[in-house]
Structure 1
């Protein structure tokens, strides 16, 4: 996944401040019946084939730049092991069968309930005819958004989105309050750094278990941390990756994972951080809020790509 890496930060003694490089989204509508071939915008939210609007964030459209995400079914019933099948179609309506591998996989599938109370990051299997398949845990009914993050051979990285409805009683949950820490299975992730909207900034996540730093994180999908961020208002999607790579001379296996992130706007975001330790992948979840006019505290420079990034506080003690 070659999406631009971007993330959030904190002000001293106050609530967490965070942001993601997600521009203003468009309304999400039904899936297109077939890939369109005209040159005008579609009422269903899909862009004309061969076109792309840079101000529309990933996952908002089922069709973009000549490719369409097509689910075999858009409605199912709640169950713990539901098979999902889908295809990526090119502008001629033919299934795509050749992809560029990114972070150890040809395609990453993110499935999240619209209230973000249920999240899965899975990796489907592709058959010879261009159909992807994967079992999903859909025990919790409700409306879901399915995101396919991939790079077709000869094309650009794309994130396409489609709606999946899971029948049954739906009890939507409120967005959890913003917090600078997240705890899962005895592990605690703590966010550090600060973000100025519109600028790439350095932010960290420090992992501890039972109060002790975790210094032997294992690579997962080619990195020590794998972050998916969704804007709460519209589920605009951004896939974020940490700075550095396992095995290089400067990237340590914990406790701190570093990201470079940009926040163009204020708002609430839900973050899902996958990390692996002792052969188990866990997901730490955060709710973070971007302030309308965030400023970096003194001594915490932003990163523009022209100078070397400087260390920022890890956020402990806040």
Structure 2
């Protein structure tokens, strides 16, 4: 097995619930606890994923000992073949064939989120599935060291699910300190302001004026991903209320989380997608905003 094709640590299987009617996101899942090579760990809640590869080639991976957040995650396994210059993988039912029937959620059957473990280098890509259940997407990991990948999907007739994996990219490791909390940031000429008093509200401005003609991105006014600094717990939530052209995009968060998180807010304007990033301490109703 070559280094570029190595899956360093097999991730936890987590379940995430999206409130389709009201745009409510639920924060789920602790970080994986890596086991020594060759050990056979089992998720704490039982019924976890197998290390099987669904009958196709690729590196062998061992599940890590972590908690699962719901029974909808039971029975899935993930096999990652490569992630250098592009990623390919399969999602299988434990001991069975590859899953090939997926619901379209926000215009895509699968959302792949990748970040360095220091929470920098955020990427949100949409793989395309071959007839045999192999997913492929362009993906560049510009620096060495561990990256965390979240495979966010819904099998037809099942609940939304997230599989995670740690990708050990070759090359010199890269690490950045987490930026300090701030109430605004500038990205691509846009000023984005954040308030976390009651859920999360983002306000988009340009040249000192509110942006009122935001374009839909994947069927919504914007998308928000939050990842916890301590354990890399993952949240992907969509706007609450009716679609809005801005300047404000609001997100309701069910199960407010304490601790430090990195938030990634994606919005589309002028035909381009922009990503504004924030460090916050506490998200959801009643928690201190930064």
TM-score normalised by the chain length of structure 1: 0.71
Structure-2 separation of matches of 1:160 and 1:65: 11
For the pair 1:286 / 2:278, whether they are aligned, the reply is yes
Structure-1 separation of matches of 2:29 and 2:271: 38
Contact 2:201–2:248 (CA<8 Å) still a contact in 1? yes
Aligned match for 1:238, one of 235, 238, 243:
235
1:1-318 pair list within 5 angstroms = 3-4=18-19, 21-22=26-27, 25=30, 27-29=32-34, 43=41, 45=43, 48-49=46-47, 56=68, 64-73=73-82, 76=84, 82-194=85-197, 201-246=198-243, 252-290=244-282, 295=286
Cα deviation, residue 31, structure 1: 11
Structure-2 separation of matches of 1:115 and 1:296: 23
What runs of 5+ residues in structure 1 fail to find an aligned partner?
A: 8-20, 34-41, 77-81, 195-200, 247-251, 298-314
Contact 1:49–1:91 (CA<8 Å) still a contact in 2? no
Partner SS for 1:116: coil
Cα deviation, residue 154, structure 1: 1.6
Relative contact order, CA 8 A, sep 6+: which one is greater?
A: 1
Structure-2 separation of matches of 1:186 and 1:143: 31
Structure-2 separation of matches of 1:167 and 1:66: 31
Structure 1 stretch 21-30 or stretch 114-123: which is displaced more? 21-30
Structure-2 separation of matches of 1:238 and 1:165: 23
Structure-2 separation of matches of 1:99 and 1:30: 31
TM-score normalised by the chain length of structure 2: 0.77
Cα deviation, residue 234, structure 1: 1.3
Please, what is the CA RMSD of the aligned residues? 3.1
Contact 1:31–1:44 (CA<8 Å) still a contact in 2? no
